[in-house]
Amino acid sequence: MSKPKISFFSPFCAKAKKNHHDITVITTENFDGWKKGQNAALKTHVEETGFGAKAGKALIHRGSDGNIENIIAVISSAYTYEDGSKLYNAVKDKFSERTLNDTSFALKSDDHSEEQIFRLYAGIGFAVYAFDQYKKKKATDKAQFVLADGIDAKRVKTFVEGVCLVRDLVNIPANDMGPDELEAATKFLTEKHKLELKVIKDKDLIKKNFPMIYEVGKGSARRPRLLDFSWGNEKHPKLTLVGKGVCFDTGGYDIKPSQFMLTMKKDMGGSAHVLALAHMIISLKLPVRLRVLIPTVENSISGDAYRPSDVLQTRKGITVEIGNTDAEGRLVLADSITYACEKKPELLIDFATLTGAARVAVGLGLPALFCNDDDIAYEIQKLSNTENVLDPVWNLPLWRPYRKELDSPIADICSTGGKAGATTAALFLQEFVEENIEWIHMDVYAWEDHGTPGRPKGGADTGLRAIFAYLEKRYGK
């Protein structure tokens, strides 16, 4: 079996197929009014089937010749992304696999804003996605949609592409998504956007002063590297994204229990998020000078692997005592953050599947946000809960009194310490951020444990749309 290929997923077709149907979208609050305006045959069908004002339900009404006259789908009055996903599932379930292959659909709604219909189409895209690259029988029961006139098709497609890129990158198992493959996935993105990808690999990391990236990755036969690319007008505000690219994390000598290692293919979820975010920024042409840095390693156990209590040098010149080899992400991020700050970006954002402590603090579905500017943190948290974003994040404190928990008797700082593990990890990273640079740290889970409409079990975006919404508001479209 060949290795899975990275591509941009889209469920949308350019034009209607021979068999095409409009789906009339009705909100729960408008259902009774809609029903009153229908002909007797349709009213009777609605009553006989018990079809009512319940979101996530669909009805097919046929004429006397057996052909479809109406498809009706009910959603909530909020027009959420989940409404779009539920609508898709409800309609798809009404058709056979064979029929779907020859059919296209479009949404028809008389009372909606552009943002509302955008959310429905994006939610449809999220629901169509299925990770089946390793299955002999691929999913073929997928409905295709034609984007309605007046909608920003580029924006809808870009959002779906970004979210599904995160899912693909995280879902691919580590045997097919090591440092070589993550570099190839990054190259796929840079080539699409006609950008140059710079790579510093293996012992060149030592020569070019990235000692902690090298130390974390040197224990693996799959060699460590730093991926680096830029886009945009140099006169625009500088924005740098840093993504944790730990392609698999055994925990090193502080080895993880087996049940916690099962999902460690997702430990490169931070890099997946920044690649998706970069794609959205570039595709929708935000006026920024973008730079992306991805420290890419595998944290393995071998005779060459680094050890607990080792003292490592850093690019910044700070010495670090290793408290736990399973806290490797902060080490590779630290050298990358130092490097990023040397170019003086206006805003620096990192994404990382960094701590289990963040999951204890805010749960699995809510990413933890840290920021050295309280106003920015509160703005993002508020924005993340608005109806146009619906991607909640939660601000946790960079509580300076906890910094002493990272004191080391033999080095400038210890890599671990204290009970507030998410905060102390963020405080460790803050040591490498220049004081005059605005910095956002996203501690994300990048995984869906159970699966909900439009959000299947497996790799998942967490905080991606929230951060993009903030960037779009800050820098303009």
Task: Collect all residues with Cβ–Cβ distance below 8 Å to 108 and sequence separation of at least 6.
Answer: 22, 23, 24, 25, 148
Contact 108, 24 (CB under 8 A): yes
- Give the pairing type, strands 238-243 and 311-312: unpaired
Gap between the Cα atoms of 286 and 43, Å rounded: 48
Q: Which residue has the tokens 């197929």?
A: 17
For 11-43, give the secondary structure using H, E and C: CECCCCCCEEEEEEEEEHHHHHHHHHCCCHHHH
User: Active-site residue numbers?
Assistant: 256, 330
Gap between the Cα atoms of 224 and 328, Å rounded: 13
What is the three-class DSSP state of 414? Answer: strand
Torsion of CA 174, 180, 184, 190, to 10 degrees: 120
Sign of the four-CA dihedral 211, 264, 190, 388 = negative
What is the three-class DSSP state of 442? Answer: strand
Sign of the four-CA dihedral 448, 453, 456, 460 = negative
Contact 76, 55 (CB under 8 A): yes
- Residue closest to 442 by CA, chosen among 425, 456, 418, 459: 425
Gap between the Cα atoms of 218 and 233, Å rounded: 36
CA 261 to chain centre: 21
Tokens representing residue 440 in the block = 């956002």
Q: Which residue has the tokens 């490498």?
A: 432
Contact 372, 459 (CB under 8 A): no
Task: Write phi, then psi, for 289 (nearest 5 degrees).
Answer: -95, 100
Burial of 410 (0-12, 13-18, 19+ CB in 10 A): exposed
Tokens representing residue 211 in the block = 């000692």
